[in-house]
Amino acid sequence: MKIGKINSNNMRNDSHFQFHTEFKDLVAKSGAEALKIGQQFQSYIPLYDRVDIALKKINKSVLTEQIQEADKARDEIWEGIINMNAAALKHFSPETREAAKRLKIVFDTYGNIARKPLNEQTSATYNILQELEGKYTGDVAVVGIQQWVAELKARNNAFGDLVKERFDESALKTDIVLRDARRELDGVYRTIVERINALVIVEGAAAYEAFIRTLNVIVKKYTPKKRKKDGGVEEEIEENEEVENEI
């Protein structure tokens, strides 16, 4: 029996922090001294608090109500485009149906961009607009979503401008601090996991079984599920963060 691994690069900031919160609460409930990780857990807590503070600063600086509303407005247009094209797939005109099929391939390739992190969504929207205004401009015209595409472009640009305005130098510095804090927190977590796994080998699993089973349930909850794409290639449903660590 051992504690399973989890890749923190598959976790967004909020999910990463929530995972560590559940881990922290589990250790507190089980007793750090009983698990023989008292010293390591004492090092862990200040780093956890540092991540908490940095995350709160980012949420306050970047994810303002104004930005969230702009993102919602952009998402509505994207959903409208998808719905319009879905209806065109059943159009009485063969030409319209074929154009809608080609556009659906483009949309499926990018996936549901409304679910991506905000900055990634802005970039993905920009990329798909290049497709719709370039190679597939004829299909866009046949399906009749030119105005929707123009509106998506306008709202994506408006969102990008708003983020630039709000994301000042201090917020950028805080974001860098958060990345460093995440790495340091993950490092201590790995030390704790390695110690417990080693203790299981030396002392047996009895004293650690309940803790490990519960923690592995938490690890599984935050491990992205896989889905098959065309050709049998697996992809993760959750989007990746830039922090690259296995914990």
What is residue 68's predicted lDDT score, i.e. its pLDDT?
A: 82
Cα–Cα dist 198/19, whole Å: 22
Residue 146 C-alpha from the chain's centroid? 30
**Model confidence, pTM:** 0.53
What is residue 186's predicted lDDT score, i.e. its pLDDT?
A: 95
What is residue 242's predicted lDDT score, i.e. its pLDDT?
A: 38
In angstroms, what is the C-alpha Rg of the chain?
23
- Contact by Cβ (8 Å): 55, 17: yes
Q: Is the pLDDT of residue 201 over 50?
A: yes
pLDDT digits (tens, 9 = 90+) for 110-164: 888 888 888 788 899 999 999 999 999 999 999 999 999 999 999 999 988 887 7
pLDDT digits (tens, 9 = 90+) for 32-71: 999 999 999 999 999 999 999 888 877 666 557 788 889 9
What is residue 60's predicted lDDT score, i.e. its pLDDT?
A: 67
- Contact by Cβ (8 Å): 70, 162: yes
Cα–Cα dist 239/116, whole Å: 7
What is residue 174's predicted lDDT score, i.e. its pLDDT?
A: 63
- Contact by Cβ (8 Å): 91, 97: yes
Q: What residues are paired with 246 via a beta bridge?
A: 7
Say what percent of the chain tops pLDDT 90.
62
- Mean of pLDDT values over 189-217: 95
- Say which amino acid occupies 182: R
| Contacts for 108 with CB less than 8 Å, ≥ 6 apart | none
Cα–Cα distances in Å, from 159 out to 119, 151, 173, 221, 245?
A: 10, 12, 21, 32, 31
pLDDT digits (tens, 9 = 90+) for 224-246: 765 455 555 444 444 333 344 46
- Mean of pLDDT values over 168-176: 60
